[in-house]
Amino acid sequence: MKYLMRRLIFSALALGLALVAAGEQEALADKSQPGELNLAFTKVENEAAQRLLRSNVIPVRNRNSDYMPSGEVPLLLLERPTEGILRLQLEKVIARHSPKNARELKVKRQGDIIVAQAGDHRYWASLSSGAYKFTDARNSMVNRSRFRDFKEAVQTALQFIAEKKVAELIEGESLDILFVSAVKNALTEVGKGVPTEEFLSDFYVVFGRRYRGVPVIDSRLMVRLNSEGKVFALEKSWRSVEGVSDKSARVSKKPLQTSIIQDPKFKRYSEKSVKSEDITIVHRRCGYLEAPVNYRQAALRPGCIVSFRIGDQFAESYPQIVVSLEEGICGEELWGDKVAQKARKE
């Protein structure tokens, strides 16, 4: 008898929280209000993770929050990785994930990216940002996960990043949970639509970070756990903070709609004159803005990634524009210079 395996990524943070709340009330304290930055707080069980976080709870970020920084926020100065430093960092990552295959290591530079292979393990690291990724190329996602629920996957991921020092936080820096997803498999007999078996296999736990409570937008640390609970992939896309500037960024008090229409890039959306009251914010993510991995960014400054409508137009809720929250700085200046994907002489 022939069977067909169907697979999808099951984005299930809400279900995960429901499972935790239903199974162990003290592990999840829902202290949020609609629109706030925190959706909930979940208990941290591992002692190493508690030391890393300097807390026994970790917040779950509300992805629909209307949070906006205010007043003055410190400028965070970012480390600029050199090829020598990045190769040393990559060697540590490889030693962590591929100790048995280290002798087979092949490392080479391709433009602004360093790539490496150790057996079935693949690595890359960005010279622009220091971001890196590890992937185990062997087949996975076919066995039932040993985790009973999303809570166990979160605890395992936290323990790993704490004990292996994947994330080391400066004073004032903290982690939060962005989302948890899982791969859902459905085994179906050929010709029949009703699955004979359904189960979850690999889990993806994705963390973000904050500085003094202000979220760093587009900083992410992804841990993929296979059915045995082992790390099968890890991606860290956030720049190391080298120091805190003695200068602060003052967040403008003008409405976000006004910042949108005053940004030089707004002209691509409307050649006609537009008033701020014509702008409807569909979705926004505000805080420190971290650039994509192929940008040379010198500092973290406040801004927003915004989806909006002009009157009845542009109803699609995808990120449309990057807006600075400081007077005299446009969205493009938040990210720095884009690096061409070709070999460069430093």
Model pLDDT for residues 84-132, shown as the tens digit of each residue: 988 888 888 988 998 877 666 778 888 889 999 888 899 999 999 999 9
CB of 129 within 8 A of CB of 294? yes
Provide the β-strand partners of residue 263: none
pLDDT (0 to 100) of residue 24? 36
76 versus 150: which is more confidently predicted? 76
Mean pLDDT of the chain: 83
pLDDT surpassing 50 at residue 299: yes
9 versus 221: which is more confidently predicted? 221
Alpha helices in 44-101 (DSSP H): 47-53, 83-97
Count CB neighbours of 95 within 10 A.
12
Which is nearest to 87 in space by CA: 71, 104, 63, 105? 105
Which is nearest to 73 in space by CA: 263, 285, 298, 252? 252
* Least confident stretch, 5-9, 54-58, 162-166, 171-175: 5-9
The residues near 66 (Cβ < 8 Å, ≥ 6 apart) are 35, 284
pLDDT digits (tens, 9 = 90+) for 300-329: 999 999 988 888 765 554 558 899 999 888
Residue range 182-195: average pLDDT?
71
Residue range 233-259: average pLDDT?
93
Percent of the chain with pLDDT over 70: 82
pLDDT (0 to 100) of residue 218? 95
Confidence of residue 159 (pLDDT cuts 50, 70, 90): very high
Query: Using CA atoms, how far apart are residues 284 and 116, in angstroms rounded to an integer?
Result: 37
Confidence of residue 29 (pLDDT cuts 50, 70, 90): very low
Confidence of residue 27 (pLDDT cuts 50, 70, 90): very low
